[in-house]
Amino acid sequence: MKKKRWYDYLWLWAILYFTLGFFNILFAWLGMIDFLLPLALAIFGGNKFFCNHLCGRGQLFNKLGGDLKCSRNKPTPRWLASRWFRLAFLVFFLTMFGNMVFQTYLVGSGASSLREFVTLFWTFQVPWGWTYAAGTVPDWVAQYSFGFYSIMLTSLLLGLIVMALFKPRTWCAFCPMGTMTQEICKLKNKKQ
């Protein structure tokens, strides 16, 4: 057995993050760590230490799909892990992220009002108002929370679906953060 390190338990963080979002949506901001840390490690460290050891979501998929056998453990379809699909999914994801930031801007500028919904799969609006008491923070801060949590929850659900269908960590094969950090690492290592 390999010696366990503190970061082998970060799957607990993944569970905690999604639980907190059911109580207070403002906790969604903590997800920015999972966004900025892998980018920082890739840009400054030229590595994927985040994906490899720190990603709580990857560990959670491994636990559920591997240890708890909630995965069929069938090969991921070739196209799902192909380069063009990974890049296309990254572009799609960034577009949706940009749209979410734009919605936040609209609320911040007063052009539209705060909408207390979590949008699943970029389509289904789920009322999520119980997690936020109006006026606690500026509207745009709350709007960003709902938007960011929507992205996190949608990608978690997608990840769980592909985990069940294919390999535990099939999500990692086309995770936009993974694709982005890998491309950064490739660029960095080419220069050296």
Partner 1 sequence: MASKRVAAVDRSRCASCGACENVCPRSAIKVKGGCYAVVDEEQCVGCGKCANICPAGSIEIKERAKA
Residue 117 DSSP symbol? E
Contact 116, 155 (CB under 8 A): no
Q: Which is nearer to partner 1, 24 or 182 (CB)?
A: 182
Q: Which is nearer to partner 1, 26 or 64 (CB)?
A: 64
The one among 60, 90, 160, 172 contacting partner 1 by CB under 8 A: 172
Question: The tokens 């636990």 sit on which residue?
Answer: 63
Cα 191 to Cα 38, 177, 187: the distances in Å are: 20, 21, 7
Q: Which is nearer to partner 1, 99 or 189 (CB)?
A: 189
Q: Counting beta carbons within 10 angstroms of the beta carbon of residue 191, is it exposed (0 to 12), middle (13 to 18) or buried (19 or more)?
A: exposed
Which one of the spans 14-22, 121-129, 142-150, 170-178 is the region binding partner 1 (CB under 8 A)?
170-178
Angle CA(17)–CA(18)–CA(21) in degrees, nearest 5?
90
The one among 36, 69, 82, 98 contacting partner 1 by CB under 8 A: 82
Which one of the spans 75-83, 96-104, 105-113, 149-157 is the region binding partner 1 (CB under 8 A)?
75-83
Contact 120, 150 (CB under 8 A): yes
| 52 forms part of the interface with partner 1 (CB under 8 A) | yes
For the CB of residue 175, give the shortest distance to partner 1 in the complex, in Å. 8
| 180 forms part of the interface with partner 1 (CB under 8 A) | no
Q: Counting beta carbons within 10 angstroms of the beta carbon of residue 141, is it exposed (0 to 12), middle (13 to 18) or buried (19 or more)?
A: middle
| 66 forms part of the interface with partner 1 (CB under 8 A) | yes
* Residues at the interface with partner 1 (CB under 8 A): 42, 46-48, 51-53, 58, 62, 66, 73, 75-76, 78, 81-83, 86, 166-175, 178-179, 181-182, 184-186, 188-189
